[in-house]
Structure 1
């Protein structure tokens, strides 16, 4: 298979993207592009010194990484990946959850777990403007308003249109391909990594395989999600999306980009497939 890349190298990423290379103070910072529900105020918080990004991959099963994950100052999870029943492998804490608009209904099905028990978690919801529009009240935004009425202590942020465009621009700068024209959909992992690079001084990524992993003859066969056993194999899912002409998540391309970022920034990958990258 061929990664979405360009022979002509462009600037590796947009200005302002990336981790700080030197220690920072503990002062509160304002982060544009993340709009609080319902008042629209930007995100304000101190930086996390050490963050864990926990993959939803079946690679987490049997990993026994739970304690190492929970030791990180901030723990970042994606979509509706649960911890209950998987604590030894994925840990128990959830500081931040980055959620696709398509996964919001899955969170709504289990509100006591995601919203009542996790009121200290920051939720970041990404999606198209028509779903998250504040003025016209898109359907996903309406659902978030109703959640806030029920659980007023929650902290929910949506990515602004400008932030979504910025994430598209980063993809184009890194690949030389226009996201929409190439039929590509950015993954939740993409938005998670960009958010973590803004909020964290150092990132430890747990359970994510390298971009070359699925080419290895002896790679393991694991579920795409650790909590959905019996579903499509992870590598088969990655390859299917990478080769799709329309509406494909470019999981492998994204991992190749993450690998480049890790050479310049404070990103450490836990999975053994990254050794020698």
Structure 2
């Protein structure tokens, strides 16, 4: 080949390489690249943000490397905000009527949902059970299915690895639940930590119940008019014990009443793997607390109970839900259905006071706290709406209260339409 032709070919190759480099650079810097990076950042950060919100955290999560503040949201124009408000109003109306779906979620929450569906951190292998579609079950059938497939269960120290470590002497000797038929609590209130509790003036009504359940780090001091003052049971996720920012050993929030903690475990219920690698290392502080205060009832919810709840939600949802444990809110509702004859749930299905304020005691703004990203919140709320046959859309709009009959008051007979849980 003549020298001038070789030179021409080399020049063309160099020009092509330069063109590709410039194209890659501008794509990365331009709107397409920014969109790709923002979607990827959402997928990585949503679990961190949601974990902080649901536990009552402040600021970025410790040890995650995230610099995104817990209450931080992307900037929006006024037109975008107004459109988002209308979309959320439509979604809340759908919740009241039991007809909401993921199609009504914002693009941000839809992307987060898809991320969790694809990641499947807990290796969920659920398969649909045969029988009547879940959408056709009555409120009574749903309550019976929940009771049958997700009976209340706590860690009792009888299974390995806990049996070998003497945990039967660590956990409470008395079970969490009625000691005998007829010993259930008469009326119970489940008080969500939602920002919509502000200015509700529900405090006196809440305190009139025989037992009151609260969540995580939700306080009552300074908010008595809206949320009441009584606390009988407090359900916490494992962050509360593991992260110093919650002051578990010194805060008065955790000094009295019955405490219940939960932590995500593999769907396979591999307790060895769970003990060696919990979501947050709560086992050590749990044992320390039991040794220091053995008279305070303090329970760990068994993973079989948590994933049994998830199975019921999925089997009664038309869509595939996030393969992550239910929210503390749904877990608390299920616990109280087992303990009480009548359960009033406040601001779980949002009322006309609905807001993106995550908690009534913190200035964090995020729609995921109401509609879910990590947790299958949307589907949980649809299920609760269907279980509450006596609660009308007007009741939800005006009063934010869902009324549910306790398991002990529901006649489930000897049979039922639901198939056994796919996860025993």
Q: 133-142 or 90-99, which moves further after superposition?
A: 133-142
Residue in structure 1 matched with residue 382 of structure 2 by the alignment: 256
Residue in structure 2 matched with residue 21 of structure 1 by the alignment: none
Alignment pair present for 1:172 and 2:314: yes
Residue in structure 1 matched with residue 146 of structure 2 by the alignment: 17
1:28-67 pair list within 5 angstroms: 32-35=152-155, 38-39=170-171, 41=173, 42-45=175-178, 46-67=183-204
* Number of residue-to-residue matches in the alignment: 242
Residue in structure 2 matched with residue 200 of structure 1 by the alignment: 340
Residue in structure 2 matched with residue 91 of structure 1 by the alignment: 228
What is the CA-CA distance between 1:105 and the residue it aligns to?
3.4
Deviations 1:144-166 (A, max 9, x none): 11112222221111111321221
CA distance in 2 between counterparts of 1:271 and 1:205 reads 14
CA distance in 2 between counterparts of 1:65 and 1:98 reads 21
What is the CA-CA distance between 1:94 and the residue it aligns to?
0.8
More strand by share: 1
CA distance in 1 between counterparts of 2:248 and 2:299 reads 19
Residue in structure 2 matched with residue 109 of structure 1 by the alignment: 247
CA 189–60 in structure 1, closer or farther in 2 if over 3 Å, else same: same
Alignment pair present for 1:124 and 2:260: yes
Contact 2:238/2:261 (8 A) holds in 1? yes
CA distance in 2 between counterparts of 1:178 and 1:40 reads 37
What is the CA-CA distance between 1:232 and the residue it aligns to?
1.1
Deviations 1:207-246 (A, max 9, x none): 3334xx6xxxx865351100112x114x4643562xxxxx
What TM-score, normalized by structure 1, do the two folds share?
0.72
- After superposition, the CA RMSD in angstroms is 3.7
Deviations 1:38-60 (A, max 9, x none): 23643243311100111101111
**Partner secondary structure for residue 50 of structure 1:** strand
Alignment pair present for 1:224 and 2:388: no
What is the CA-CA distance between 1:108 and the residue it aligns to?
5.1
Q: 95-104 or 132-141, which moves further after superposition?
A: 132-141
CA 32–63 in structure 1, closer or farther in 2 if over 3 Å, else same: closer
What TM-score, normalized by structure 2, do the two folds share?
0.49
| Max Rg structure | 2
CA distance in 1 between counterparts of 2:328 and 2:338 reads 16
Contact 1:125/1:159 (8 A) holds in 2? yes
**Partner secondary structure for residue 263 of structure 1:** coil
CA 105–66 in structure 1, closer or farther in 2 if over 3 Å, else same: farther
CA distance in 2 between counterparts of 1:95 and 1:197 reads 15
More helix by share: 2
CA distance in 1 between counterparts of 2:283 and 2:397 reads 36
Deviations 1:182-226 (A, max 9, x none): 44442111101111111111111223334xx6xxxx865351100
Contact 1:77/1:96 (8 A) holds in 2? yes
**Partner secondary structure for residue 249 of structure 1:** coil
Residue in structure 2 matched with residue 23 of structure 1 by the alignment: none
